[in-house]
Amino acid sequence: MKTTAYVFLLVLLGTATLVAQSNFHNTHHLDPYNPEYVKGEVLIKFKDEATVNINTMRGFAKTGIVSVDQLLEAYQTESIGKVFKETREQRQRKTVKTIRDFKGKEIEVPALYNIYKLTFDTIWDAKQIIEELQKDENVDFAEPNYFAYTTELLKKLRILEDPLQTNPLFNFDNSNSTPDDPLYNQQLGIITTQIDQVWDTVTGDTTQIIAILDTGVDWLHPDLSANTWNNTDEIAGNGIDDDNNGKTDDIRGWDFINNDNNPMDDNSHGTHVAGIAAARGDNGIGIAGVNWFVKILPIKVFKSDGIGDVATISQGINYAAENGATVLNMSFGGYARSLTMETALINAYLTADLVASAGNNGESIYSIDPDNPTTHYPAGLSYVLGVEAMAAFSNYDPDGPILSTFPENFNYELTAPGSGVISTAPNGTYVSMSGTSMSAPLVSGAISLYRTQFPAASREKLWGDFIHTSSGCIKVYDAFYPDSVFPNFDMTDYAIEDTLAANDQDGQADAGELIQIYTTIRNTWGYADSVYALLAHSVYGDTNDLDFVHDSVFFGSLSTYGTLTNLADPFLIRIDSNCFNHRNVTLNLTMRNAGDTVSYVQEIDFIIYNGEELSGILTADTTLTPDKFWLINNSLRVDTGVTLTILPGTHLEINTIIDNRGTINASGTSDSIIAIKGSFNGNGTFKYIDFDLNEQELSVDSSELNHCNIINGRTVHAKKISFCTLENFHLTGAIFGDTDSIISTNIHNSYLDGAGTNAFIQCLFDNIIGGYAGIKSSKYCVFNNFQNILVYLYPNWPDMWTKMYLIQSDLNQHQKNSFLETDTLFYFVKTYGQSNYQNFPNHYWGTNNVDKIKQKYYDFWLDATIPKLVIDPVLAAPSDSCPGHVWKVLVNGKDAQDEIVDPVGVGLQKFEVFFNRAMDTTVIPLLSFGVRSPFIQNIVDNAASWSLDKKIWTAYYNVDLYTGDGTHTIRVAEAKDSTGQQIPNEDSRFAFIIQAAGVQSVNFMATAGIGKVELEWNSTGLIDFLGFNMYRYMNITDTTFSNPIVINTSLITDTVYNDFSIIPDTTYHYYYKIVDTDLQESDSSNIVTATPFNAANGDANGDLAVNVLDITTIVSYMLNEYPSPFLFDAADVNYDDEINVLDIIALVQLINGKKSLSILPLPEFNKEMAYYLMIDNKMQLESMGNVAALQFKIKDKRGKIKELEELKIFSLAHGFEFAYAVVDDHIIGILFSLSGKEIPTGNTDLFRFEGIDIDAIEFSG
């Protein structure tokens, strides 16, 4: 058993040998938005009633379903096979089985027998095949055969050299629950999760079986072999499938990768996972698993590289369930949701608890892209316990284990340790790994212990006990034996209805209506006998416009994970008829069990509409006028031959689908814009419209868009787009669909991909996330600030980055464009084909520097298999037919991009901004510069003017000491060209250097002295300043420095300063900052350096002489008078690291010549005793030897400091110097002789006291 007597032994065991096995472990970076799958394979589930009859015709596989076979004819299916073994029970199932997830949702358990895997030549696109299959009425679903991955992060591997070495303190008679396993003291997760406390009552038994779905398990490992599952229905080695499960001689599990009965681990991941959950405990070797005696069912469904596919994994899940597994541990996952795997899991859930790891990408279960949530499967599924790790690498669920905003109720529920977890590894070894893969088996083991201890507990109680007792991670003892079990409520759903007779019953909350609110309440823990809820305004909500007609509802009783809905008793709210349109309402629902003190509050959100509603089928011409706000909340069709006219100035909000079979004419004017929120399709006239597409497409295929501002969209389909602005287009799909030409249109802050055959003329692209854009034709366009989509999505995963290109074909279709700025791995042009050269002349590249231009295109010099790009002749300046943009900035006549601008000092500086075309001179450009983004710290606007041709903006800036030294980037914004188009912001190409404070301080000097550094500078030319702050720092090593500190205690007003607080022979670095009248500091001056000298022993004041002035300096220091300068080392004459009266004695001896300088301590003294005696108001000294000097303290016993201040002390010792001072709550006194005189042996009067009661004071030496 474990005691402190062998801690040293365990440390040696735990740190035996380091090995490198990273090549065996999965370090695959997962792309949440583009999950990978097996090429040439499709998984399909046919409807239960469909009859599949697999056969072969002309060498290709057929399903026997005519419509499906006709569809697959073109793809020449190579094989069709069942994913799951068909059972008679499944075929003959008459009743529908269901499970209930933990949000109360009932889920039908699907049959497995009609799921197949189809294989094709990999030349075919599996997703295209799937899209066609899903349209067939015989198909339930079709999907790719997605990959899944083990979820460990390899940190450090440790191998036990002698894993069979038994702990020498092993004691068979010891009943203590602490195991004797030698590496147990390194299993910190056991203690963190309270598992060790549970072992006092239960350590496990063989009734539980944990299926390890993984890379296999080393079932011969001495810490696992005794716990490995044995199939008692199978006779080993007889070559017969005795239990008729389709697996011959599967006595210890199955290898689905190699299709044999030896699920041996060839990676180490599965063995490590198995050990965490189920290594045999208290056996004197290795580690202790969570459950010491549980059975391990090894199921190998991952290859040696840690990668598996969902078809294989799903077969393993089904095998585990059919062979009695009570817990399925799934330390794997991916971001692809597989219905095949879910089908297997739902069936397994009937008999087993499901546990899965949440993944290691640091991703939220939610995502910035609602169409591509970063949910990790299967951990996120509502009937699987998803396990996070207590580490930054772990995926996480930001709203916790109970709430979920997903319709499918995805959640991660539990957290467990997952960093540096030691466990078993192949060949009898032990390793340390990190990842949520290590967290999941700890939970699996704990659940198996729970099932052993509480075999009759419901699954709902298990979930409630583990979730509600967690605190940072699972607390297993608290889950087993909670102090109290109380109800815990949440609202899983709510609905807003307007079905009462007086309402318009359009499913929306409208002004003037009496609405009903239905809520579904769930209880996730203790039994609740009387549940009620109260509806009210949120704490900071607007209390106007709403009248709570019925705000309290009684629900009744609720058991663990039970749900109730107030269908018979809805909340009722009346909305004021004058409520403004599109008002967002937030209400609080408070839930409580009668008699309990704890309440649970959740929010209910909805929108109130107030406008003229339009819906149904328009069979006659209709006009929308600007005197009303128009709402379309329910389906609307403009019928064939019907015209819907929208007049200038009209506002329209579309919250549903418009089916335009007729014509929509929406023609605003420049001073009366039409505003439309939402989208529609079809033909019509569309100009001067502000569109907010609300993440939708705009499809007006055969019509034109003219002078429209379009935001928040996905794709625009139009015949022609002219003089428009498109902004904030979504990260999925191309901006432009089948559009012939896009003219004089600006595209900002959007994703551009697949521009196709569109022709762009005089267009501006600015701040673009670029995919495989592939622009075919462009003329007089400006391209600025392009970023690679993969760099944007995965900034920390450079191995996922690939190059992207704007133009990579038809180079002759591009004329006189301006290519300004691009980012990492995005190139404006890529050559193609087999020729040696491709011409791309007459473009402006944002610079005239050849090296900078080369960074913007991709050709032969980066890939020898493609042509070299010939860009000559290049345009030295951009075409004035392009949209307006900045092409050059001069600072004091020098090009701030392509020339070296001399560093700028204090004074007036000239800035000239050059535009490619005439500008709107009524609009003032915002010209600024700064040392950091957004570069608007300094506005350049002195004496500003336009040139006669309206192409050059000139302005001045007066640089001073506080402008800031360093490299400044120039920013130009808010200018408009003569057509009214705003220029792209320029904030990256142009820069210059300011050295104002540095130039000012060229005469700054530091002079080293004895025990000091003399600093001197000048203030010539400085105005409006208060003084200076002096900073000092020193070397820690040759390459590291201390933090700078201000050494002056008050503002320096002179231009000289002496630093006395130094250590001699130490190098110091100094700089100063100027403080202006606003108490603002300038940048740093130049840095000067000095190393002060050491002073002679006794030269306390550093004046290069040892004399009586040094004695007075020491006395002043001892009396806390802070003399300056004061050299501590020199004043410590006797080298005892203290300044006291002994140093005065020694210094007197040095001055009088009685002692010479020595490395030995001074002075010499004996150990005879001396005493103070008080006689009346006098103090005598009774000494057994001569006394050279005295140092004493006097305190008032009553703590009256004022009394001490009034005390007067007179020296009675002739020939001695005497000084004293009140310091804090006491008096310090010093008596010494400058001539070396001593107080003789015997009694001597020393002092006389006046002004205090002698009995009230006490002395100390």
pTM exceeds 0.85: no
| In a domain? residue 271 | yes
Q: Which of 346-360, 411-425, 1036-1050 has the lowest mean pLDDT?
A: 1036-1050
Indicate whether 89 belongs to any domain. yes
Q: Check if the beta carbon of residue 364 is closer than 8 Å to that of residue 380.
A: no
Within a domain: residue 198? yes
Given 995, 1012, 1031, the domain boundary residue is 995
**CATH code of the domain in which 911 resides:** 2.60.40.1220
User: Does 5 have pLDDT greater than 80?
Assistant: no
Whether residue 16 has pLDDT greater than 60: no
Same domain, 163 and 81: yes
Confidence of residue 169 (pLDDT cuts 50, 70, 90): very low
Measured distance CA(376)–CA(31) in Å, rounded: 11
Per-residue pLDDT reduced to its tens digit, 564-589: 999 999 999 999 999 988 899 999 99
Tell me what pLDDT residue 799 has: 78
Contact 22, 154 (CB under 8 A): yes
Same structural domain for residues 959 and 1072?
no
* Contacts of 1215 by beta carbon, 8 Å cutoff, 6+ apart: 1233, 1235, 1237
pLDDT band (50, 70, 90) for residue 828? very high
Give domain status of residue 241, yes or no. Answer: yes
On whether residue 338 sits in a domain, the answer given is: yes
Identify residue 1089 by its one-letter amino acid code: T
For 274, phi and psi rounded to 5 degrees? -60, -40
Mean pLDDT for 193-207 is: 96
Within 10 angstroms of residue 811's Cβ, the number of other Cβ atoms is 19
Please give the single-letter amino acid code of residue 233. Answer: D
| Of 359-368, 755-764, 1160-1169, 1237-1246, minimum mean pLDDT range | 1160-1169
In this structure, the strands spanning 804-807 and 826-830 are parallel
Domain of 536, in residue numbers:
489-609
Q: Whose CA is closest to 363, among 393, 341, 332, 402?
A: 393
In this prediction, residue 196 carries a pLDDT of 96
Which residue's structure tokens are 């350096």? 1089
Q: Taking 60 as the threshold, does the pLDDT of residue 141 lie above it?
A: yes
Tell me: pLDDT of 740 over 50.
Answer: yes
CATH (domain of 591): 2.60.40.10
Residue 349 near residue 99, CB atoms below 8 Å: yes
Would you call 1140 exposed, middle or buried from its count of C-beta atoms within 10 A (0-12, 13-18, 19+)?
Answer: middle
The reply to whether 471 and 494 lie within a common domain is: no
Residues 451 and 368 in one domain: yes
* Collapsed DSSP state (helix, strand, coil) of residue 153: strand
Of 1090, 1121, 1137, the residue at which a domain comes to its end is: 1090
Residue 634 lies in a domain: no
Convert the pLDDT of each residue in 855-887 to its tens digit.
Answer: 999 999 999 999 999 999 999 999 999 999 999
Whether 942 and 1010 map to the same domain: the answer is no
**Mean pLDDT confidence for 205-218:** 97
Tens digit of each residue's pLDDT (9 = 90 or more) over 1215-1245: 888 878 888 788 888 888 877 788 888 888 8
Based on the domain organization, do 230 and 264 belong to the same domain? yes
Are residues 573 and 441 located together in one domain of the fold?
A: no
What pLDDT is attached to residue 422? 96
Per residue in 1100-1115, pLDDT tens? 887 778 887 888 888 8
CB neighbours of residue 440 within 10 Å: 32
Q: What is the structure's pLDDT at 539?
A: 84
- Residue 1036 pLDDT: 84
What local confidence, expressed as pLDDT, does residue 175 receive?
Answer: 37
Return the pLDDT at 10: 25
User: What is the model's pLDDT at position 659?
Assistant: 92
Domain contains 812: no
Provide the pLDDT for residue 323: 96
The secondary structure of residue 903, as a DSSP letter, is P
The verdict on 477 and 568 lying in the same domain is no
Q: Are residues 146 and 83 in the same domain?
A: yes
Which amino acid does the sequence have at 584?
N
Tokens of 591: 């839930």
Which residues are identified as catalytic? 214, 269, 437
Each residue's pLDDT tens digit, 253-292? 999 999 999 999 999 999 999 999 999 999 999 999 999 9
Count of other CB atoms within 10 angstroms of residue 850: 10
Would the pLDDT of 188 be above 70? yes
| Residue 426 and residue 572 share a domain | no
Does residue 752 have a pLDDT over 70?
Answer: yes
Whether residue 834 lies inside any domain: the answer is: no
pLDDT digits over 460-501, tens only? 999 999 999 999 999 999 999 999 999 999 999 999 999 999
As a dihedral over the C-alpha atoms of residue 773, residue 776, residue 780, residue 783, rounded to 10 degrees, the angle is 10
CB 52 within 8 A of CB 65: yes
Q: What is the predicted pLDDT for the residue at 1208?
A: 85
- Read off φ and ψ for residue 449, nearest 5 degrees: -65, -40
Share of the chain above pLDDT 90, in %: 59
- Answer yes or no: is pLDDT of 1157 > 50: no
Q: How far apart are CA 256 and CA 320, in angstroms?
A: 12
Element (H, E) at 865: none
Residues 373 and 412: their CA atoms lie apart, in Å, by 14
What is the tens place of the pLDDT at every residue in 684-697? 999 999 999 988 88
Greater confidence (85 vs 557) lies with: 557
Identify the pLDDT of residue 28. Answer: 52
Identify the three-state secondary structure at position 1056: strand
Higher pLDDT, 1239 or 438: 438
Count: domains in the chain: 5
Q: Are 1238 and 1205 in contact (CB under 8 A)?
A: no
Give the three-class secondary structure for 979.
coil
CA distance 89 to 38: 31
What's the pLDDT band for 21 if we cut at 50, 70, 90?
very low
In the prediction, which pLDDT does 1141 show?
82
Question: Last residue of a domain, which of 609, 644, 662?
Answer: 609
- In the predicted model, is pLDDT for residue 787 greater than 80? yes
Q: Are 437 and 518 contained in the same domain?
A: no
pLDDT bracket for residue 17 (50, 70, 90): very low
Per-residue confidence (pLDDT) for residue 733, from 0 to 100? 56
Query: Mean of the pLDDT values across residues 116-142?
Result: 94
Using CA atoms, how far residue 564 sits from 7, 601, 671, 1115, in Å, is 56, 16, 55, 86
Q: What is the CATH number of the domain that holds 31?
A: 3.40.50.200
Whether 213 and 161 share a structural domain: yes
Residue 1198 in 3-state DSSP?
Answer: coil
Residue-level pLDDT at 372: 62
Asked if pLDDT for residue 13 goes beyond 50, the answer is no
